[in-house]
C-alpha cells in the first residue's frame, strides 16, 4: 500500500483546502485554526483530525514532521474589499507565522494561498516583500506563485486566488492545468438540499425584484437606481457586484462572507433572496454532507472564506505527483 504524504494545515478555516487535499490522497495530520465555530465544523466532519484551536503565535511546530505545510494566511489586510492597510494591519503579518511554521516543520513543499488582489496591492510591493521574506527566511526552498481562477477547475464561481508554492531543491511542482468545461450555477445547484439562509429586508427585496437574472443595479429604473446607489453611483470601479442577481447559465461571482449586504449581493437566479447555506456550499464545491457549525452569519463567513474544494483537490493532485517523483 502506498504511503500517504502528510500535511499540516494552518489557518484551516472550515476545511475547504484540507478536504480537497484529502480527496487528492493526502493525509492531514494537524490543523490549526483560531475561530471556534470553524474548529467545531472541522471536528464535526472529521472527528479523527487533530484540530488545534489556538492563536498561531502561541503554537510551536518543533518536533512536528510533515511532507507538506499549507494554509491561507488571513487576507483581509490585502483584499480589495478591505482597507488595503497591508503591513500596517497585524493580520497582514501572519505570513511571518506561516514562514516560522515552515522553518520549524521543514516540509518538502509549502503552499500559501491568498486573494488575487495581493499581486497589485501597494503597486506590487506587498507581494514582493512577502516573496522576499519567504526566499530569505526559507532560503533552501524555490518559491514561485501563480494566480488561479477557480472557474477553470470545475468550480461554478469566478474566484481568483494567488497560490504561492515553495519546494525543496530537486522537487518540481507544476500548477494544475485548466479544465475545458465551465460549470454554471444551474448545474451546480441541481437538487441542492433545502437549508437555512438569510433574507432581504422588504425594502431591499422590492429593489431586487426589479433585477433580471445576470443583471445588477444598472438594470434598475433611474429613480430607484439613484435612491438605491446613493453616492456610490458616481464612484469609480465596476460596481457590477452591487444588486447582482446571478443567472442560471453562468458561474457565480466570487462568494463573499455575506450574501446580502449591499456591496456583496449574490441573489438567487429565480427567487428574490440570497443563496442559502447549502447553495453557498455547493458553489464552493463542498459536498452536501459537510456540515457547518455556528450561527447562520458564521456559516456564511466560513464558506465564503474557504478555498473551493475542487480547486484544492487539483492543487493536491499536483503535490502528490511532485512528491512521488522526488
List, by residue number, the catalytic residues: 75
With CA atoms as reference, report the closest residue to 265 among 195, 311, 201: 201
Give me the residue label for grid cell 511542482. Answer: 173
For residues 226 and 300, is the Cβ–Cβ distance under 8 A? no
| 8-state DSSP, 268 | -
Cα separation, 161 vs 248, in Å, equals 24
Three cell numbers written together for 114: 491568498
For residues 110 and 143, is the Cβ–Cβ distance under 8 A? no
Cα separation, 182 vs 250, in Å, equals 8
Which residues face 27 on adjacent strands?
6
Strands 109-115 and 68-71: parallel
Cα separation, 134 vs 161, in Å, equals 18
| 8-state DSSP, 157 | B
Cα separation, 92 vs 76, in Å, equals 8
Helix (H, G, I), strand (E, B) or coil at 86: helix
Helix (H, G, I), strand (E, B) or coil at 211: coil
Based on the number of CB atoms within 10 Å of its own CB, is 214 exposed (0-12), middle (13-18) or buried (19 or more)?
A: middle
Amino acid at each position: 500500500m502506498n504511503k500517504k504524504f502528510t500535511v499540516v494545515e494552518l489557518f484551516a478555516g472550515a476545511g475547504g483546502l484540507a478536504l480537497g487535499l484529502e480527496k487528492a490522497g493526502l493525509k492531514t495530520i494537524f490543523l490549526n485554526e483560531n475561530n471556534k465555530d470553524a474548529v467545531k465544523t472541522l471536528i464535526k466532519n472529521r472527528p479523527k483530525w487533530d484540530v488545534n484551536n489556538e492563536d498561531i503565535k502561541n503554537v510551536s511546530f518543533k518536533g512536528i514532521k510533515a511532507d507538506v505545510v499549507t494554509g491561507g494566511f488571513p487576507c483581509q489586510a490585502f483584499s480589495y474589499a478591505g482597507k488595503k492597510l497591508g503591513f500596517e494591519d497585524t493580520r497582514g503579518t501572519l505570513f511571518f507565522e506561516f514562514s516560522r511554521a515552515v522553518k520549524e516543520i521543514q516540509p518538502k513543499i509549502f503552499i500559501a494561498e491568498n486573494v488575487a488582489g495581493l499581486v497589485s496591492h501597494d503597486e506590487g510591493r506587498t507581494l514582493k516583500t512577502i516573496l522576499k521574506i519567504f526566499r530569505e527566511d526559507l532560503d533552501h526552498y524555490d518559491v514561485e506563485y501563480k494566480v488561479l481562477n477557480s472557474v477553470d477547475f470545475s468550480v461554478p464561481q469566478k474566484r481568483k486566488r494567488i497560490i504561492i508554492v515553495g519546494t525543496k531543491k530537486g522537487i518540481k511542482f507544476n500548477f494544475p492545468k485548466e479544465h475545458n468545461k465551465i460549470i454554471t450555477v444551474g448545474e451546480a445547484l441541481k437538487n441542492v438540499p433545502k437549508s437555512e439562509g438569510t433574507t432581504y429586508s422588504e425594502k431591499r427585496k422590492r429593489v431586487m425584484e426589479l433585477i433580471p437574472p445576470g443583471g445588477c443595479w444598472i438594470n434598475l429604473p433611474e429613480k430607484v437606481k439613484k435612491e438605491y446607489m446613493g453616492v456610490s453611483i458616481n464612484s469609480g470601479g465596476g460596481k457590477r457586484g452591487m444588486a447582482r442577481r446571478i443567472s442560471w447559465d453562468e458561474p457565480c461571482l466570487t462568494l463573499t462572507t455575506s450574501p446580502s449586504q449591499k456591496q456583496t449581493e449574490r441573489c438567487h437566479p429565480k427567487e428574490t433572496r440570497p443563496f442559502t447555506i447549502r447553495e453557498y456550499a455547493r458553489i464552493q464545491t463542498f459536498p452536501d454532507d459537510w456540515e457547518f457549525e455556528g450561527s447562520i452569519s458564521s456559516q456564511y463567513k466560513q464558506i465564503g472564506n474557504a478555498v473551493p474544494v475542487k480547486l484544492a483537490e487539483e492543487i493536491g493532485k499536483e503535490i502528490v505527483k511532485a512528491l512521488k517523483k522526488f
